[in-house]
Amino acid sequence: MPTDRPTASELLEAIREFLSEKVAPNVEGQLAFHVQVAGNVLAIVERTLQHGSTMDAEELQRLQELLTSDGNLMDLNHELAEKIRNGDLDEQREQVFEHLLKTVKDKLHLANPRYLNKKA
């Protein structure tokens, strides 16, 4: 990806700020809702650009260690699901749980970091 300015993240941030600061205060009803949704989508894309590759690499490494096999992220996740269903990882329950918890926290961080700060 080119490193010239503005970066993709900076462009996304500018669009998101424009929507939230200039457009949102001047619209109502369904359009206001769609502007808010668009802003949320842009924020998700920003976070994904900033952290997604690292999160994917860490998840892949955890899966490779847990399953002791190689492959891409999608294939290893399918293998993990199959092994969980079959009970093949029952002896590694704690490691599976730790992996799944970290993966879910990463996905929530991308989708909406505020979900991680809510108290039950």
Domain contains 120:
no
Domain contains 3:
no
Q: How many CA atoms does the CB half-sphere of 80 hold within 13 Å? A: 25
Which parts of the chain sit beneath pLDDT 70?
1-3, 118-120
Domain contains 1:
no
Q: Token pair of 31, please?
A: 């359009």
Q: What is the pLDDT of residue 117?
A: 86
pTM of this prediction?
0.83
Number of domains in the chain: 1
Q: Is the CB of residue 75 less than 8 Å from the CB of residue 92?
A: no
